[in-house]
Structure 1
Amino acid sequence: MLIFYGFLVFGVLFLIYMYLENFNLQVTNYAISSKGIPNAFDDVSFVVLADLHNNSFGRDNERLINKINKANPNFIVIAGDLIVGKEQGDFSVALSLMEKLTKQYPVYYGFGNHEQRVMEDGTHHDESFNSYIRKLKDMGVRVINNETCTIYRKESKINITSVEIGKEYFQKFKKTKMETEYLQKLVGIPDNKCYNILIAHNPIYFKTYINWGADLVLSGHLHGGIVRLPWLGGVISPQYELFPKYDAGEFHENGQTMLVSRGLGTHTIKLRAFNRPELMVVTLKRP
């Protein structure tokens, strides 16, 4: 009987811990070094917000905003899923956060699969999403969806491209093959004389992204694998792949880099274990 009660107490404490883990924000710092980074962008930094899913760190996301202000980035990149894509979705958390951040920083917003669910032709589309996008643009958010925008600094520039891949690339229990030509049809061919940052929400297609020409890929989607284990990493992906390769952190291939955020929130199953929400701070370095 004592063993039963012991397991019961442990289970309750573990559930409390997992709930609190959803709000235990961690800042991680990455330095990305490349000869392709112009001298004018040496030491330029930005923060990556991914998979917030309407989560709030303190009242009106006060703790998150304070962490961003402490990092003092040059700009902000949203790597998808700021919202939860469902019928009659609530966009108030995202709008409130963007209203505050756009007063201080340029913001570049790339879509994830949850934005895709509520946009036109999405499973849960309604007019409220169109209103949400209009409000973001009125605030000055640069919504980049299957397009490229250029950031200028002195006489130099870098490109940020955001790609919205089809819903077939998010199917559960299945990985649909993606060809480089598919990305080219969506966003064109990148300028190989420029440093190219690609916002691509789903990281499992890293090799296709770099074959397209991305120097730096910014992703999320996997929520760090939900539960993280020592040496093994994330346990499961949203597509139900066990121990996914690109679960979280920094990955390299042929001199190109992908950063995968563990994300800032959860949806449906409110679960994180040994997997703190992550605010990613990225600094560009010219070697």
Structure 2
Amino acid sequence: MNRRTFLKKAFGSFLAFIGLSGGTYYYAREIEPSLLDVHKKTITSSNLSKSFNDFKIVQFSDTHIGFHYTLEQFNELVEKINKLNPNLIVFTGDLVDEPNNFHNKGELTEALKKLTCTHGKYWIYGNHDHGGYGTNKMKKIMDQADFHLLKNEHARIEESNDQFILGGIDDVMLGSPNLKQTLRKANPDLFTVILAHEPDYADTTRKFPVDIQLSGHSHGGQVRFPFLGHLYTPLYAEKYVQGEYQFTNERLTLYVNRGIGTTRLPYRFLCKPEIHEYTLQSSK
């Protein structure tokens, strides 16, 4: 860490302590974590067939159930997602915060099963899903809820005899991601979406014939201050933190979701939780 970065983090931590020790503490802990944003974005591509015009993909990420985010809150989220009438639902990792300490008696499975869409539900592992011996436990929950795991593989999403590619990689931190394997036998001329939990993986993705990468992991920093921005993001979310990133003269656009829950610290400040609704349009 260089001196400038150290001073920024030290000063930011000081401001966080001062701010969160007053009235801001209540807002950051009790209010903002429940203020859900629905971020809507239209994605236009010449690689898309007109059969997919107005096709809606809803992404949610990083619920971290068990760490200040309850099953009751998750059920409310399910209702909000269903009201968007998605064609496709994707989850980009970190379902529960500590899989080894999470005891599912069927409530989470039933909540996930209530999510409805016309073209399937897909998910990828995040680092918390692999952590705490959660790999098999999380897969069992998602399998029972009719979610399809994309672990270095892809699916073809079809509409009126047209297709686009939806791929997903294994988690970067605790898994074995392999994008070459993921896209094996995929038509490079088709519109292609890749799910990757860690957003900084985009520097690898940009080397492949991919149109869109959808990621989470960063939580947007969770705590942000004017002028300073975020104070901390985890490994592999240090370069791309939130929002949209376009790569000049390259095919790829990256979208980083701020996620739903919190981890490590139960605060959000100037960094509301969000879900993404992407509406596809052909430019042909």
Short-chain TM bin:
0.7 to 0.9
Whichever residue aligns with residue 270 of structure 2, its letter is F
Q: Is residue 191 from structure 1 mapped to residue 187 from structure 2 by the alignment? A: yes
Query: How many residues align structurally?
Result: 261
Question: Does structure 1 retain, via aligned residues, the 8 Å contact 2:63–2:95?
Answer: yes
When residues 66 and 37 of structure 1 are mapped into structure 2, their CA distance, relative to the original with a 3 A threshold, is same
- Structure 1 unaligned blocks of 5 or more: 1-6, 118-123, 171-177
Farther-moved stretch of structure 1 (230-239 vs 20-29): 230-239
Farther-moved stretch of structure 1 (96-105 vs 249-258): 96-105
Q: Which residue of structure 2 aligns with residue 73 of structure 1?
A: 86
Q: Is residue 235 from structure 1 mapped to residue 235 from structure 2 by the alignment? A: no
Question: Does structure 1 retain, via aligned residues, the 8 Å contact 2:88–2:117?
Answer: no
When residues 15 and 90 of structure 1 are mapped into structure 2, their CA distance, relative to the original with a 3 A threshold, is farther
Deviation at 1:102, TM superposition (A): 4.4
1:177-217 CA-to-partner distances (Å, cap 9, x unmatched) read x9xxx531565364212111100010112121121222100
Farther-moved stretch of structure 1 (268-277 vs 55-64): 55-64
- Residues of 2 paired with 1:186 and 1:87: CA distance? 29
Q: Identity of aligned pairs, percent?
A: 28
Whichever residue aligns with residue 254 of structure 2, its letter is M
Q: Which residue of structure 2 aligns with residue 23 of structure 1?
A: 34
Q: 1:61 aligns with which of 59, 74, 82?
A: 74
- Residues of 2 paired with 1:215 and 1:8: CA distance? 43
Q: Which residue of structure 1 aligns with residue 256 of structure 2?
A: 260
- Structure 2 unaligned blocks of 5 or more: 1-16
- Residues of 2 paired with 1:222 and 1:8: CA distance? 24
Deviation at 1:142, TM superposition (A): 1.2
Deviation at 1:103, TM superposition (A): 7.8
Question: Does structure 1 retain, via aligned residues, the 8 Å contact 2:168–2:182?
Answer: no
Q: Is residue 274 from structure 1 mapped to residue 270 from structure 2 by the alignment? A: yes
Q: Which residue of structure 2 aligns with residue 41 of structure 1?
A: 52
Question: Structure 2 length normalisation: TM-score?
Answer: 0.80
Question: Does structure 2 retain, via aligned residues, the 8 Å contact 1:102–1:141?
Answer: no
Q: 1:140 aligns with which of 131, 136, 146?
A: 146
Q: Is residue 249 from structure 1 mapped to residue 260 from structure 2 by the alignment? A: no
1:147-168 CA-to-partner distances (Å, cap 9, x unmatched) read 1111110110111111014437
Whichever residue aligns with residue 161 of structure 1, its letter is G
- Residues of 2 paired with 1:57 and 1:132: CA distance? 17
Deviation at 1:239, TM superposition (A): 2.7
Q: Which residue of structure 1 aligns with residue 10 of structure 2?
A: none
Whichever residue aligns with residue 77 of structure 2, its letter is L
Deviation at 1:57, TM superposition (A): 7.3
- Residues of 2 paired with 1:240 and 1:146: CA distance? 18
Q: Is residue 207 from structure 1 mapped to residue 203 from structure 2 by the alignment? A: yes
Whichever residue aligns with residue 133 of structure 2, its letter is H
When residues 228 and 240 of structure 1 are mapped into structure 2, their CA distance, relative to the original with a 3 A threshold, is farther
Q: 2:168 aligns with which of 155, 162, 171?
A: 162
- Residues of 2 paired with 1:240 and 1:132: CA distance? 22
Whichever residue aligns with residue 157 of structure 2, its letter is I
Q: Which residue of structure 2 aligns with residue 88 of structure 1?
A: 101
When residues 144 and 240 of structure 1 are mapped into structure 2, their CA distance, relative to the original with a 3 A threshold, is closer
- Residues of 1 paired with 2:243 and 2:232: CA distance? 15
SS at match of 1:71: coil
Kindly report which structure 2 residues correspond to 1:91-170, keeping only aligned pairs within 5 A, or say none. 91=104, 94-102=108-116, 106-117=120-131, 124-125=132-133, 130-167=136-173
SS at match of 1:73: coil
Q: Which residue of structure 2 aligns with residue 4 of structure 1?
A: none
